[in-house]
Amino acid sequence: MLPLPAADQEVIDFFAGVADLDATNPADHELEDGVRLASGARLEQFARAGSGDAFCFVGEGGEERPVVYISLDGEAGPLALGLAELVRLCLVTPWWRDAPGRTPGELQSLAGEYREDMPDLDRRRDRAARALGLDPAGLPSEAAALDRLVELSRGPVAAACLVVGYKGEPLDPLFANIPR
């Protein structure tokens, strides 16, 4: 899926501009020296956010590997099991970074604010999904996508994806405060 977004401008615009995931020049992305997985497994950055935060694959393999987000603010955590799941998360809840610590009502309000700021969000999402060969009607709900983040942040995947900073200390969990 990585080469495809680079070939379709609507997909690039959605992921870079709406979901804040820029995978257009993977060779330009480098993790800060010393940032690694506690397990010693490979950590491969493949995209970045506008802030410089990193999207990374964990371990060896292809696009099916777990995906970890590493914030420059010293937080990290798993987002998805594979690129396809990450794509769906970003299509459905491009505002996922703002979820930690919010109640379900606050999350609903946040989604509404996002749509107010971007009235064509659903249209843009649907067009990007179709360009990737996905049926927008088959995408998970916002609630299901957020539940999946909670599941990944509290399960064995989180332990396998524990990121250590350049000082040797584990980074704070990215989604420790997402309510169920």
pTM above 0.85, yes or no: yes
H/E stretch holding 45: strand 43-48
Mean pLDDT of the 21-26 span: 81
Three-class secondary structure assignment of 111-146:
HHHHHHHCCCHHHHHHHHHHHCCCCHHHCCCHHHHH
Tell me the per-residue pLDDT of 114-164, one tens digit each, with 9 for 90 and over.
889 999 999 999 999 999 999 999 999 988 998 888 889 888 999 999 999
For the chain, what are the domain ranges?
3-165
